[in-house]
Amino acid sequence: MSAKVTERVSERAATVLVVEDEKLIRRFVRTALEGEGCRVFEAATSAQGLIEAGQQKPDLVVLDLGLPDGNGIDFIRHLRGWSDVPILVLSARAHEKDKIQALDVGADDYLTKPFGVGELRARARALLRRQSRDGEGATPIMEFGDVRVDFSRRAVTRKGDALHLTPIEYRLLCVLLANSGKVMTQRHLLREVWGPSCVESNHYLRVYLGHLRQKLEDDPTQPKYLLTETGVGYRFQP
Amino acid sequence: MSFVPKPSVGAFPSLLAWQRFALALLACAATALIATPLLKYLDLANIVMLFLLTVLLIGVSLGLAPALLAAFVSVGMFDFFFVPPRFSFEVHDGQYLVTFAVMLAVAIITGQLTAGLRRQADESAAEALRTHALYEMARDLSGALMLEQVVDITRDFLHKVLNAESTILLPDSTGRLQACSGQKSARLQIEPRLAIMAYDGGKPVDCVQLADSGYAELYLPLKASQRVRGVVAVASSESGLAPEFLHTQQQRLETMASLVAIAVERVHYVDVAQNTQVQIVSERLRSSILSALSHDLRTPLTALVGLADSLTISKPPLAEAALETAEAIREQAERLAGLVGNLLDMARLNAGDVTLQKEWQPIEEVIGSSIKLLGRALAEHPVKVSLAKDVPLIEFDAVLIERVFCNLLENAAKYSPPGLAIEIAVHLRDGKLEVAVSDSGQGFAVDKDHAVFEMFVRGQPESSTPGVGLGLAICRAIVEAHAGTITAANRAQGGACVTFSLPLGEPPRIEEEVLAQEDGRQSCNP
């Protein structure tokens, strides 16, 4: 499956830029991604990373938030000034604020250190796939588990039975599905679903996401698709 | 040097009273001696002048009482030695009686006037010195950096200038007045009620009856710009001193009290500023050490986990045995990362470095995310979650409570045989949310069930299961930071059960969604 994905990105292999100051971490990230068929470029500092990003026009940037020269947040801001390449952030646990900030200024996903090859590849694949799908237009129908969502008819069914979703629940589901695989910060979801004046009302989001889980998940206490990224936000995992 | 006025002492204050009188007598005798040979050349009227001059000089130099004595002695001597018949007190010529009377009157008045002038000069000199001392005290106080210095400066001033003992009373943290200990020990007794009267009323309290009893008799409030900062208690230390003396100096004492008050207030603010500074610096240091440590420990572990993992995808593939080794390295490195995480968490929690990011949220959300987070560690243990109906939103820090669940689930998985379920039960009890995590393992060693929450204590001391005994200590620290409780017990049917509770509180209201509002943005606030 992975081979197919990278083929679809373009005729050439997908290029990935790894911005990380620790040589050994760079090395295994390179190994893991080259195993996926990607071409990997490395940068040890944020300044070098920006230059490389300009020259190589990568399809994905893997960025360590704790760089020796300036923080990763500034790097993302710079990069977002002229590029919408997907950014995967590497960060330590207990640094939720950094993660949220990174996501809010434009990062697409994060990985908590330490992480394995499998997790890294899965995230990278998801981001590259999203990248390649952009411009193809949204699919009118999405399916996950027993659930089928028909966007054209605004209909949701589970095991063939029609499900009743309230307008907010439906809108929340749509936002999550539209950003499939991507972490959505609470602030972002609140703004999308409730509007910009409600970005502080986190408990609304939590309650409505609970409703969605009740209706869509087999075991709402151990969800498979509507995942919580504790302290950060939510993610729809197809 | 003393600035306390004594009964007029003249120019030689160091002389004792009897010495003064003896000197006066000597002076009179000397005058008589000098005048005897002059009798041939001088009229008796001029001899009288010599005696009057002597009395004047005694009045200036030795004070009033010696001058009065000298006045009488001079008249006597004049009569005895000079008025005929000489060497007897007999007087033949009645006119001399007038001379004696006038001489006595002039001598007494002269003595009194000169001694009085002297005293006034002394007093104004002392007054000037006291004013100067007050100025010096103000200067010293402005340089004082510590309360002890203020206390000592005040005590020295009062001792030197008014010959009085003093103590400064300041309110402690509970608002009770306490004598402030300077470097010198205070012998002064305090009547607390009078001190409190002065402190609360903001007016001087004066109790003359207490003079010379060893108790302070005057209590002056230290009125600063913001509020009354304390009380200075004063007692005249030398008995025999005019008891009203302190009260004649009240104006000056009040000036002094306001100087001390300003100094105490300034020192107080210096303290506050310094403490804040120290706190900021130490907090910054602590969190920078912790984050440097966490970065330095996590970076090699991340590399280790990743590199070991990337061996499994190397081409050509490794031999079976090598693959297993790579897998084992990865597992151990991950475990180490977990331990390091626990240690750093504990350090953070212990250092008080954690501010709770409390939000209202359903508890099942963190249950789900922690099960998901543990992933492989729970592969051999199905988790059964039973959630009571209508559990409300709870206010907690999701990241930290997730940590509690992770630690409890990890423990349960570690200490129970593969295949047996771990149960999480959530229900309401006694106005609290109660969460029980139980397994079917061997349980805690008997009489250990309380100690397991201590750091580095393990339920099974000689267990071969890896761990250092921090998991439950972290759980307790987190739960207690949420004003909750945590207990451990063994279940009747076997296995360990850790129960923790969180307070319920008043969750915010959630507006019901209006179905008719199909496309408009929903309001989030009532």
Q: What is the pLDDT of residues B373-390, one digit of tens each?
A: 888 788 888 999 998 888
Cross-chain Cβ contact B517/A118 below 8 Å? no
Q: How far is A224 from chain B (nearest CA, A)?
A: 9
Q: Tell me, what's the pLDDT at A93?
A: 65
Q: Tell me, what's the pLDDT at A77?
A: 92
Is any Cβ of chain A less than 8 angstroms from the Cβ of B346? no
> How far apart, in whole angstroms, are the C-alpha atoms of residue B316 and residue B9?
115
> How far apart, in whole angstroms, are the C-alpha atoms of residue A222 and residue B459?
29
Give contacts of A113 with chain B, Cβ < 8 Å: 298-299, 301-302
Which pLDDT tens digit goes with each residue over A63-89? 998 787 777 888 999 999 988 899 999
Q: Do residues A63 and A70 touch, judged by C-beta distance below 8 A?
A: no
Is any Cβ of chain A less than 8 angstroms from the Cβ of B205? no
> How far apart, in whole angstroms, are the C-alpha atoms of residue A50 and residue A29?
19
Cross-chain Cβ contact A25/B359 below 8 Å? no
pTM: predicted TM-score of the whole model, two decimal places: 0.62
Is any Cβ of chain A less than 8 angstroms from the Cβ of B306? yes
Which pLDDT tens digit goes with each residue over B235-265? 876 554 555 666 677 788 888 888 899 898 8
| Top-tier CATH class for B279-351 | mainly alpha
Residues of B (284-303) whose Cβ lies below 8 Å from A: 294-295, 298-303
Q: Which of B501, B483, B473, B511 is nearest to B358 (CA)?
A: B483
Structure tokens that stand for A80 in this block: 């977002």
The string of DSSP letters for A117-149 reads HHHHHHHHHHHHHHHHHTTS---SEEEETTEEE
Is any Cβ of chain B less than 8 angstroms from the Cβ of A176? no
Residue A14, pLDDT > 50, answer yes
- DSSP for residue A14: P
Which pLDDT tens digit goes with each residue over A16-26? 999 998 898 99
Structure tokens that stand for B366 in this block: 């963190």
CA B328 to chain centre: 58
Q: Tell me, what's the pLDDT at B446?
A: 64
Q: Tell me the HSE value of A82 on the side-chain side, using a 13 A CA sphere.
A: 9
| Lowest-pLDDT choice from A53-57, A63-67, B42-46, B521-525 | B521-525
CA B206 to chain centre: 28
Q: Do residues B69 and B115 touch, judged by C-beta distance below 8 A?
A: no
Residue A45, pLDDT > 70, answer yes
Is any Cβ of chain B less than 8 angstroms from the Cβ of A32? yes
Is any Cβ of chain B less than 8 angstroms from the Cβ of A229? yes
Compute the average pLDDT of residues B392-417.
90
> Which of A116, A166, A193 lies closest to B305 in CB terms?
A116
Q: Where are the alpha helices (DSSP H) in chain A?
A: 2-9, 23-35, 46-56, 72-80, 96-104, 117-133, 167-178, 186-193, 202-216
Cross-chain Cβ contact A28/B309 below 8 Å? yes
Which pLDDT tens digit goes with each residue over B134-168? 888 899 888 888 888 888 888 888 888 777 888 88
Residue B115, pLDDT > 60, answer yes
Give contacts of A111 with chain B, Cβ < 8 Å: none
> How far apart, in whole angstroms, are the C-alpha atoms of residue A9 and residue A125?
10
Give contacts of B519 with chain A, Cβ < 8 Å: 167
> How far apart, in whole angstroms, are the C-alpha atoms of residue A50 and residue A38?
20
Q: How confident is the model at residue A3 (pLDDT cuts 50, 70, 90)?
A: very low
Compute the average pLDDT of residues A86-93.
85
**Buried b / exposed e across A62-77, counting CB within 10 Å, b at 16+?**
bbbbbbeeeebbebbe
Instruction: For domain B358-503, give the fold.
Output: Heat Shock Protein 90 (3.30.565)
Residues of A (47-76) whose Cβ lies below 8 Å from B: 66
CB contacts < 8 A, A to B, total 153
Which pLDDT tens digit goes with each residue over B286-344? 777 777 777 788 888 889 999 998 888 887 888 888 888 988 898 888 888 888 888 88
Q: Where are the domains of chain B?
A: 17-137, 145-272, 279-351, 358-503
Cross-chain Cβ contact B525/A201 below 8 Å? yes
Compute the average pLDDT of residues B407-415.
88
Q: Which of B221, B222, B211, B197 is nearest to B247 (CA)?
A: B211
Which pLDDT tens digit goes with each residue over B61-75? 888 888 889 989 998
Q: Enter the CATH code of domain B145-272.
A: 3.30.450.40
Q: Tell me, what's the pLDDT at B449?
A: 59
Q: How confident is the model at residue B456 (pLDDT cuts 50, 70, 90)?
A: low
* Residue B453 vs residue A208, higher pLDDT: A208
